[in-house]
Structure 1
Amino acid sequence: MRVAIADDEVDVVQFLKSIIEGMGHHSMTFADGAALSQALVRETFDLVIMDWSMPKKDGLATLVWMQSALQERPPVIMLTNRTAKRDISDALNAGADDYITKPEDPTVIAARINAVLRRNANSGSFDTKAVYGRYEFDRIGQTVTIDGTIITLTAKEFELADMFFRNRDRTLSRNYIMEAIWRTTAALATRTLDMHISRVRSKLDLKPENGFRIFTVFGYGYRLETTDRG
């Protein structure tokens, strides 16, 4: 999972970063709401954790902006020292998925993060086997079958295909994909990504008549789209 952290207090950012990375997730950090907003336009995140009182654009204004500006909004946890009931209700009504008051124990924060991620996970994301139309994924054996026929995929091709199907109908940025599959965003991985996507598209015969297609979102990344055929 990829988590954005937005807070102008360096010690809070490092505190959250240690929790998130200790849970096995990736993180990106931002010092203000404007920088976070710019990143949300060009990057994919599974979760945003942000403070209310940030420079340039505060947390509430960022929440309101996310609701109107983003077609695919990630879940948001507000982590702030504001404790008034009116503030909590305003944040939740503006679109926050959870509200945590500073300071809080790391184990509680980790549990709340897991709860939000579970609520927003696609159905079947963590099952050992999953069926999507004609496609059946065995995540233990790392195999894909189409109408009972096993398709030979490399380990990276399987990871990539599985990521797309778990995130079907969701646009994923190139950096999000490369970080999750290759653990890097280097230029070399960019060429590798294009090659692997081409192979997955071909091997799994991803086209509208089979129910799914992968298409390029110019300047952003890729999307596995469910079609009404297949």
Structure 2
Amino acid sequence: MHIGVLEDDLDQQAFIEACLTTAGHQVSLFARSSELRRATKEQTFDFFIIDWRLPDSCGMDVVSHLRQHEGWRGPILFITASQGEDEIVKALELGADDFLAKPLRPKEFIARVSALGRRSGYVTPHPAATCPESFKLHTEEHYISVAGNAVGLTEREYRLAALFFSKIGELITRAHLLELVWGIKGDVSTRTVDTHVSRLRRKLELDGRHGLRLRSVYQSGYRMDTCQTTNAEQVAN
């Protein structure tokens, strides 16, 4: 995941960065809330870790701004030196998904990050066991190669593809896709999902020619299936 960390203490920054990079995450560090807000307009993030006390703002205000004004639906882990119940409750009410008190313990810290990531649908794909060799997921750069050719994907398309590749042979409902990839729950139109899946199928040639077919399951959702490799002429017919 690409994780934005808002923490002004340089020692804490270094500690958090070391923990996250060791766990395989990409990290961007910010000491001021203004820096993070500017970065959200220029970069795509999967996860935020936000400290309570900052030189130019309060971490709770940052959480509230992300949720209410920027429509951020991804996970937010709030960290604080205070263990007071009122502060913890306020942070959660404003939109934080979880909190940790300082000093951070490395194993627990990474476990909390991983748990929030899983809950929000961020998966680490392991396609080698079941996925044909024609497909290669570049997890750090967030793109996929098909038959040796790099295919450019939007961040959401990559997350959608990574989810399908991690669950080959499993039915994934449209509602589940909306929740995991878009962060939307409830009775929401699934037309957006269908449009993205159709575009992804075309971009990655998931029509059987490379050994994978992304199928639509009537009134349910989608399933990625392995199949015998077909050539372009057979697909066209």
**What's the TM-score once normalised by structure 2's chain length?**
0.59
Name the CA distance, whole Å, in 2 between partners of 1:111 and 1:88.
Answer: 19
Counterpart pick for 2:203 among 189, 201, 211: 201
**Is the 1:9–1:31 contact (alpha carbons within 8 Å) kept by the matching residues of 2?**
yes
Counterpart pick for 1:157 among 145, 150, 153: 150
Deviation at 1:141, TM superposition (A): 3.6
Name the CA distance, whole Å, in 2 between partners of 1:69 and 1:115.
Answer: 26
**Is the 2:151–2:204 contact (alpha carbons within 8 Å) kept by the matching residues of 1?**
no
Q: Deviations over 1:88-145 (max 9, x none)?
A: 00000111011000002111101111111110116x774749xxxxxxxx5464549x
Name the CA distance, whole Å, in 1 between partners of 2:115 and 2:127.
Answer: 20
For residue 106 of structure 1, what is the aligned residue in structure 2?
Answer: 106
For residue 11 of structure 2, what is the aligned residue in structure 1?
Answer: 11
Name the CA distance, whole Å, in 1 between partners of 2:2 and 2:30.
Answer: 14
Deviation at 1:158, TM superposition (A): 6.5
Deviation at 1:153, TM superposition (A): 2.0
Deviation at 1:38, TM superposition (A): 1.5
Name the CA distance, whole Å, in 1 between partners of 2:64 and 2:160.
Answer: 29
**Is the 1:41–1:70 contact (alpha carbons within 8 Å) kept by the matching residues of 2?**
no
**Is the 1:79–1:101 contact (alpha carbons within 8 Å) kept by the matching residues of 2?**
yes
- The SS at the match of 2:29 is strand
Name the CA distance, whole Å, in 2 between partners of 1:73 and 1:38.
Answer: 18
For residue 89 of structure 1, what is the aligned residue in structure 2?
Answer: 89
- The SS at the match of 2:40 is helix
Gaps of 5+ in 1: 130-137, 145-151, 172-196, 212-225
Name the CA distance, whole Å, in 2 between partners of 1:156 and 1:116.
Answer: 33
The residue identity in structure 2 corresponding to 1:88 is I
The residue identity in structure 2 corresponding to 1:201 is K
The residue identity in structure 2 corresponding to 1:165 is A
For residue 141 of structure 2, what is the aligned residue in structure 1?
Answer: none
- The SS at the match of 1:157 is strand
- The SS at the match of 2:146 is coil
Deviation at 1:34, TM superposition (A): 1.6
Deviation at 1:81, TM superposition (A): 0.2
The residue identity in structure 1 corresponding to 2:24 is G
Structure with larger Rg: 2
For residue 56 of structure 1, what is the aligned residue in structure 2?
Answer: 56
- Would the alpha carbon gap of residues 33 and 127 (structure 1) be closer, same or farther in structure 2, given more than 3 Å must change? same
**Is the 1:32–1:58 contact (alpha carbons within 8 Å) kept by the matching residues of 2?**
no
Name the CA distance, whole Å, in 2 between partners of 1:29 and 1:104.
Answer: 17
Name the CA distance, whole Å, in 1 between partners of 2:13 and 2:39.
Answer: 17
* Mean Cα deviation higher: 66-75 or 107-116: 66-75
Q: CA RMSD in A?
A: 3.8
- Would the alpha carbon gap of residues 204 and 3 (structure 1) be closer, same or farther in structure 2, given more than 3 Å must change? same
Name the CA distance, whole Å, in 2 between partners of 1:202 and 1:118.
Answer: 25
> Percent same amino acid among aligned pairs?
24
Matched, 1:65 2:61: no
Q: What count of residue pairs does the alignment treat as equivalent?
A: 170
Name the CA distance, whole Å, in 1 between partners of 2:61 and 2:149.
Answer: 40
Deviation at 1:41, TM superposition (A): 2.6
**What's the TM-score once normalised by structure 1's chain length?**
0.61
- Would the alpha carbon gap of residues 204 and 54 (structure 1) be closer, same or farther in structure 2, given more than 3 Å must change? same
Gaps of 5+ in 2: 137-144, 164-176, 183-198, 208-213, 216-220, 222-237
